[in-house]
Structure 1
């Protein structure tokens, strides 16, 4: 059985007639609220919390989803703070090691300079003690050597 579709009269612009009983909306009235912000300062946080609880309970999503999301955000914040703290500690240790390495490098350079100076003054000290430079090569043959009185 086929049903006939009908066009509603409100969808046809030519069928609309101006209604005489429609009046423009009146403006809302303003009024003064006693107390203001100074009276609500202590209760402001409590009322915000109550509004949050009311909002959470009125939503379609269960409150458990909100709790999981807040817990995830808190865990992420704590993890970020711990990571940042570890990075600062590592940076501090690295700078301490760099200072220590530079100090040790300076000590090694000072010791090498002192050694070079001592090596340079060695021939002069040997001459002052009466030593003479070697004038040729000297070799000792121990093949025919015998101990003590044995011959």
Structure 2
């Protein structure tokens, strides 16, 4: 089987797909657009354009209004949520500061109590107290409660 012939293109034959480089492209013409900007009623003109645009489209005006209201509510809701989060963060910081202050106070009081406990034996000796020498026990096996008539203040 014979293979198909390959051809080499040269610039001698013009390519029909490419425009001729000798032809100049036409230059677009400038035209004047009437209707400038009126600073007094820009909002009214914008609203009028939106209404006119919705009349030329298949989307009714109510859909555009609902979309604008939905976006506005979302914006206000996100702002309120962010404000609430900032307030909660501020309160959490204040509570954290209070907790650390109270913890420091408890540690100071615990240190003072430990110092008082450590100085207690020295103060007892200064007052003339002696440490206990042994265990003292009381045996209640032979204990008899006093009779009703023998008690103090009897009848």
Both proteins in one fold, TM over 0.5: yes
Unpaired runs of at least 5, structure 1? 1-23
Alpha-carbon displacement from aligned partner over 1:89-122 (angstroms, at most 9, x marks no partner): 2111211110111111011101100100000000
Identify which of 52, 55, 62 aligns with 2:53.
55
Residue 95 of structure 2 corresponds to: 97
* Equivalent residues in 2 for 1:79-98, closer than 5 Å: 79-98=77-96
In structure 2, do the counterparts of structure 1 residues 42 and 82 end up closer, same or farther at CA, with 3 Å as the change threshold? same
Residue 135 of structure 2 corresponds to: 137
Q: State the shift of 1:52 in Å.
A: 2.0
2:138 counterpart of 1:122? no
Inter-partner Cα distance in structure 2 for 1:119 and 1:80: 58
Unpaired runs of at least 5, structure 2? 1-25, 151-155
Inter-partner Cα distance in structure 2 for 1:26 and 1:94: 66
Deviating above 2 A after TM superposition, structure 1's stretches of 4 or more consecutive aligned residues are: 24-31, 43-46, 142-150
Aligned-residue CA RMSD (Å): 2.8
Inter-partner Cα distance in structure 2 for 1:26 and 1:61: 34
Inter-partner Cα distance in structure 1 for 2:125 and 2:56: 104
More helix by share: 1
TM-score, length-scaled by structure 2: 0.67
**Greater CA drift, 62-71 or 119-128:** 62-71
Residue 76 of structure 2 corresponds to: 78
Q: State the shift of 1:26 in Å.
A: 8.0
Residue 7 of structure 2 corresponds to: none
